[in-house]
Amino acid sequence: MNNDRLTELETLLRSGALDQRKAALDELAQCPADLALPILQKLAVDQDFLCRRLAVMGLGNHRTAASLQILKELLQEESDHNVLAEIANSLFEFGNESVPLLQQLFERDRHWLTRQTIISILMEANQDEVLLAVIRQALQDETQTVKETGILALGSLLKGNLQQQALDLLTELAQAKDWRDRWRTATALSLSSDPRAKLLLAQLQQDENHYVVAAALEGSLPKEF
């Protein structure tokens, strides 16, 4: 790809219509990293948060040591939560190396978007100990949607080595004062065939809140495989 085309792509990424920006990002993903990264690095410090977000997405398309280093630096410098959530997504493209970075970001950034994004990512990471640690923090979060995301994430631990720890937490949550906690607990429990989970679901079927009852009843239905 010649320099003129690279300049055109940078211009489109900065000021094109959204579909043009997306097309330019896709084209840049096909370029060698040594050509794409200088453009993405410039965009990553632009005043326009959309430019920065696109740049971060682009960096995830080039899984090189240089790209990872740029993302690590942005992790410390970026303040927009939309961009930080996108940094988390791009970091995960680098596999297990990113997991400690994601855990650290979760611990220092209490914004709901960043935290919910990281929980969702870690559910795919096969790092159950880290996921459980993050969930424990999420359960203490003052933002209800973060707490609910953490409760639902417990469901992904019910078929692994941390099943009993997850069930212990869900047992407590089944008695929570907030009906939304009990509601999400019923949904998470539906992923387990453990007798403890079945007993908790039976108890939640008698809940005072109809949303909780509905989730518990649905969770007790036979699963199709």
Residue 211: both structure tokens together: 């949303």
Instruction: Look at residue 224 in the predicted model and tell me its pLDDT.
Output: 52
CA-based nearest residue to 24, from 37, 3, 5: 5
Handedness of CA 107, 109, 115, 118 (dihedral sign): negative
Q: Distance between CA atoms of 91 and 80, rounded to whole angstroms?
A: 16
Mapped onto helix, strand or coil, the DSSP state of residue 74 is helix
- Give 123-139 pLDDT, tens digit per residue: 999 999 999 999 999 99
Nearest to 138 by CA among 120, 157, 155, 151: 151
pLDDT of residue 15: 87
Placement of tokens 């410090």 in the chain: 45
Residue stretches of the chain with pLDDT short of 50: 225
- The per-residue pLDDT for range 143-186, each reduced to its tens digit, is 999 999 999 999 999 989 999 999 999 999 999 999 999 999 99
Smallest CA-to-CA distance from 147 within 176, 104, 167 is with 176
pLDDT at position 199: 97
Burial code (b: 16+ CB inside 10 Å, e: under 16) for 122-148 equals: bbebebbebbbebbebbbebeeeebbb
Given a contact cutoff of 8 angstroms between Cβ atoms, the answer to whether 182 and 216 are in contact is: no
Q: Is 209 exposed, middle or buried (0-12, 13-18, 19+ CB in 10 A)?
A: middle
- Predicted pLDDT of residue 223: 63
The pTM for the full model equals 0.91
